[in-house]
Amino acid sequence: MSSTAHDRVILEQFTKQAIPFATAPIHQDGMDLIRAAARLTQADEVLDVACGPGLVACALAPHAGHVTGVDLTPRMIEEAAVAAARLEVNNVTWILGTATPLPFPDASFTVVLTRYSFHHFADPAAALTEMFRVCRPGGRVVVADLSIPAPEGLRFDAVEQWRDPSHVHALAPDELRQLFARQPVAELDEAAFGLAIELEPQLTRSFPVEGGADKVRRAYAESVEGDTLGIETRVVNGSMWSTWPVRVIGATKVR
């Protein structure tokens, strides 16, 4: 699928997912690790790439000078503006735009970050290069995303595409590290956490392909023995749960 065609899939999915995504309680998890990786100060000019409904931007804004959120989906930008107004966060700006390329000049920000976006990108290496381009030397670049080693991650990709057609690939930890290794980096930090997710509410918030929900249910059930999807599928009190591993990597741009 071309990048343009995939962007259309993202627009379709995230226009529908804007409100469910914004209100899902799990999306507050790991915020402290992202803030720590960014090494935020009150002087920082922050860019949140693929900001979605503004959850990260609004959470970090009290700890920064200013935060700009950029996203491809107009409906997400609308939700971000609503969230900022509700939370009385005033030091944020919302921009409609792409991740590749980012609509900003070189060295525009002291911190550039993204959360839960790389597994949707057709070319995550290009996205990271853009993040480093708009970051100032000495600034921080942070990626937080679902990260599953192969071969489990490849099986997960196939199943997740039934639930969310905008999913491309959950990069393994080594793949994420290799992307950063190609950039001018120093002081690389790494942390991890897990997102505990109950399957049925997640499917309710999603817009699977036709017949996809039942395929996901079967695949999760088959993964309970042996963790073949790499997400710790399990049955708790009759409900299917999983824990999605998230990797947070932050690095300093050296030039």
pLDDT tens digit sequence for 15-61: 777 666 656 666 678 999 999 999 999 999 999 999 999 999 999 99
More confident position, 181 or 20: 181
Pair of tokens at residue 254:
């050296």
pLDDT digit string (tens) for 200-234? 999 999 999 999 999 999 999 999 999 999 999 99
Residue 146 is encoded by which pair of tokens?
């679902």
Q: What is the pLDDT of residues 62-81, one digit of tens each?
A: 999 999 999 999 999 999 99
Mean per-residue pLDDT, 160-179 = 97
List CB contacts of 218: < 8 A, sequence separation 6 or more.
none
What is the CA angle 133-134-139, rounded to 5? Answer: 95
Taking the CA atoms of residue 127, residue 83, residue 40 and residue 191 in that order, the dihedral angle to the nearest 10 degrees is: -60
Specify the 3-state DSSP secondary structure of 148: coil
148-168 mean pLDDT: 97
> Could you tell me the pTM of the whole model?
0.94
For 91-132, the DSSP string reads: SEEEEE--SSS-SS-TT-EEEEEEES-GGG-S-HHHHHHHHH
Integer Cα distance of 241 and 55 in angstroms: 24
Domains and CATH numbers, the chain: 3-194+245-253 (3.40.50.150)
